[in-house]
Structure 1
Amino acid sequence: MHTKNIITAGKDISEAKKVLVLLHGRGGNAQDILSLADHFPLDDFSVFAPQATNNSWYPYSFLAPPAQNEPWLSSALEILRNLLEEIKSKGKASENIYFGGFSQGACLTAEFVTRNASRFGGVFLFTGGLIGDKIDTENYKGDFAGTPVFIGTGNPDAHVPVERVNKTAEIMEKLKAEVTVKVYDNKPHSISQDEIEIANKLVFK
């Protein structure tokens, strides 16, 4: 099970107008993903980066049957649920809360926001999609109410099939998110400058 360990950057939440939650990938850490914040216009933001126990949110592929990734997957979602409630308790409305992640962190971000769809400030998923060997649409509820979402991915990608990215976009759109997907031919499993620039235009507009 994950231990709560959240690294912060930017403004103190009491002074910030907005909040960004960043989720690192498998083998990465909160400090790594926080360096991404330097590439976004976050002058008025408080930034939160939870740290996964043993640097992994769940042990197997995101395409494994969810039961194989338990209890880690549920524990990771609980960390995020508690963090979201904590941020809201500081007076921050959902529309001023943003989420983003890379790889395993992007998959966890997709899963969390789509299970708890609301009008968020924006969401970016750098190479990720909804979790599970099959998509159980019963898990996804709420109304994104026009939340801008950007998903960037490579084709092929060693971990995330384009089909899953497209299915993720479709489900998010049904919950009224404004989703933009960009597929890059033969992009390495990493974050590109182009993805950062698109996220800046679409998510932090």
Structure 2
Amino acid sequence: MSEIAPLDPSAVLWSAEPAERSDRPVLVVLHGYGADEADLFALAVHLPPEFVVAAVRAPLTPPFPAPGFSWYPIEGLNGRDSADVTAAAERLIEWVDASTDAATVGLLGFSQGGAVSLQALRVSPERFAFAVNLSGYASPGELPGDAALAERRPPVFWGRGTHDDVIPGALVDHTIDWLPRHCDLSGRVYPGLTHGVSGPELDDVRGFLGRRLADAAGSSAGAERVPPAEEERAPQHPLG
């Protein structure tokens, strides 16, 4: 297991000043391997403005010559160790607890960030309202919070591309099996998409987040509905 440092509170990009965050839901975004907090923060203008977006920087520096930062090591024989993913999720939860008292906190992660987002749901099932997992995966192994997560079944959106060759197939297969048993899963596989985020995927994410705002308000009224062709439920073919 690797040593995962605490998140740097000075390396966070917020979409709103402190005085403008009161009584608003917070969406914490987690970048992928080799990127930084500015990467996904660029998506903020395309997401529902009701959310306060907080883009955090991962705590590790990948080996040279990789740029940016990482949440956990993927190099070597123990790359993608589930214990490291859990340690990264625990550091994320520490930062969230210290940085916001928002009633609704959701997670949106890409690749490594998506894996950490799901792991944070597992470590602390009551802490987060939902998660968006873009081109990521569910880490193998069991955690103490898995039973509580399966009971609570928070909403999770999982999007990935048919031409994504970055995430190993065994992890994709595991995620296909694991997510529907623990979450209220929706998502889509995007034809031709590699390891990235497409316009149609961003449209689906925006619709998913709109429904989470309705959940927080205690009503489905006003939520933007994604057409059935653009969001497939987990048991159907597109996620498999």
TM-score (norm 1): 0.79
What SS class does the counterpart of residue 179 from structure 1 fall into?
strand
- Aligned partner letter, 1:102: F
1:146-165 aligned at under 5 Å gives the runs 146-161=153-168, 164-165=171-172
Secondary structure, counterpart of 2:52 in structure 1: strand
Distance 2:80 2:208 in 1: 31
Q: Alpha carbons of 1:97 and 1:29: their partners in 2 closer, same or farther (altered >3 Å)?
A: same
Counterpart for residue 112 of structure 2: 104
Q: Output the CA distance in 2 between the equivalents of 1:58 and 1:119.
A: 22
Matched, 1:84 2:90: no
* Structure 1 residues 115 and 172: CA distance shift in structure 2, 3 A: farther
Deviations 1:62-100 (A, max 9, x none): x95655x76x54542222120232256x2x23xx11100
Hey, what does 1:136 align to over in structure 2?
141
Instruction: Compute the displacement of 1:51 (Å).
Output: 0.9
Residue deviations 1:106-140, cap 9 Å, x none? 11112221332237433111100112xxx213455
Please report the RMSD computed on the Cα atoms of aligned residues, expressed in angstroms: 2.9
2 CA distance for matches of 1:163 and 1:201? Answer: 29
Instruction: Give the distance between the partners of 1:23 and 1:116, measured in 2 at CA.
Output: 17
Write the distance in 2 (CA, Å) between the matches of 1:165 and 1:66: 13
144-153 or 47-56, which moves further after superposition?
A: 144-153
Q: Distance in 2 between matches of 1:203 and 1:166?
A: 26
Scaled by the length of structure 2, what TM-score is found? 0.69
Q: Deviations over 1:14-52 (max 9, x none)?
A: 524101110000111001111111110133x32222212
Identity value in percent: 24
**Which residue, out of 26, 32, 42, partners 1:25?**
32
Name the aligned partner's letter for residue 135 of structure 2: T
Give the direction of change, closer, same or farther, for the CA distance of 1:3–1:65 in structure 2 (3 Å limit): closer
Shift of 1:204: 2.8
Shift of 1:161: 4.2
Q: Distance in 2 between matches of 1:185 and 1:203?
A: 22
Listed as ranges, the gaps of 5+ residues in structure 1 are none
Secondary structure of 2:44 counterpart: helix
Structure of greater Rg: 2
Paired residue secondary structure (1:21): strand
Supply the AA of the counterpart residue of 1:150: F
**Structure 2 vs 1, CA of residues 138 and 10 (structure 1 numbering), >3 Å: closer, same or farther?**
closer
Structure with more of its chain in strand, by fraction: 1
Give the one of 201, 209, 229 matched to 1:203: 209
Aligned length: 194
The correspondence of residues 1-205 of structure 1 with structure 2, limited to 5 A, is 1-6=4-9, 7-11=12-16, 12=18, 14-43=21-50, 45-52=51-58, 53-54=60-61, 55-60=69-74, 67=81, 73-87=85-99, 90=101, 92-93=102-103, 96-118=104-126, 120-131=128-139, 135-141=140-146, 142-143=148-149, 145-161=152-168, 164-165=171-172, 167-175=174-182, 177-205=183-211
Q: Which runs of 5+ in 2 are unaligned?
A: 62-68, 212-240
Give distance in 1, aligned partners of 2:178 and 2:86: 21
